[in-house]
Amino acid sequence: MALTFQTYAEIPDSLRARLVDIWTDATNAGGAIGFVAPVERETVDAAAFGNFAVGRDLFLVGFEDGEPAAFLVVVDHQFALKSHARLLKTVVVHPKHQGKGYGVELMRAAEDVARTLDGVEMLHLTCRGGLGLEHFYSKCGYTEVGRIPRMLRVSADDYRDEIYFALSL
């Protein structure tokens, strides 16, 4: 079964709670999405969409049978020297849908959306090292362009690399 995609210039209240649930469930299943498991839903909700620039950033949501199954944020840098690029943040697939190819579908849909944006030539993203995510993003056509060793501290004695990827459109 394939996803259907919808973009949003702002998050409808009716969708926000379901996206927070997906984000919380994915984090608690081991996902590296800005939090460390275990995380409470309230923690995710409080921090989740605070930096979303209404009218500039876009939410891309993948639906299966009318229910959200995956999402990401396409971030406008709001900086003239980066107007040709967009940052992908918070790439999330609900754990019950993992293994269905929805992550790849979501990344392809993000490329499609970016190609509709005036002047956008590049997508880029970061990921947490140590989980094999770099293999997923490489499979999606992204090139690793750098990393900062030990940039992310997930616990007192667990440091991870922050890995940078880019894709020319």
CATH class, domain 4-121, is: alpha beta
| pLDDT, position 101 | 97
At residue 1 the predicted structure's pLDDT band, cuts being 50, 70 and 90, is confident
The model's pLDDT over 26-78, given as tens digits with 9 standing for 90+, comes to: 999 999 999 999 999 999 999 988 888 888 999 999 999 999 999 999 999 99
| pLDDT, position 31 | 96
Q: What is the mean pLDDT of the chain?
A: 96
The model's pLDDT over 8-30, given as tens digits with 9 standing for 90+, comes to: 999 998 999 999 999 999 999 99
Q: Is the per-residue pLDDT at 159 higher than 90?
A: yes
Q: Could you state, in order of their start, the residue ranges of all structural domains in the chain?
A: 4-121
Long-range contacts of 86-92 (CB under 8 A, 24+ apart): 86/114, 86/117, 86/120, 86/122, 86/123, 86/124, 87/123, 87/124, 87/125, 88/123, 88/124, 88/125, 89/125, 90/23, 90/33, 90/34, 91/33, 91/125, 92/22, 92/23, 92/26, 92/31, 92/33
pTM confidence score: 0.95
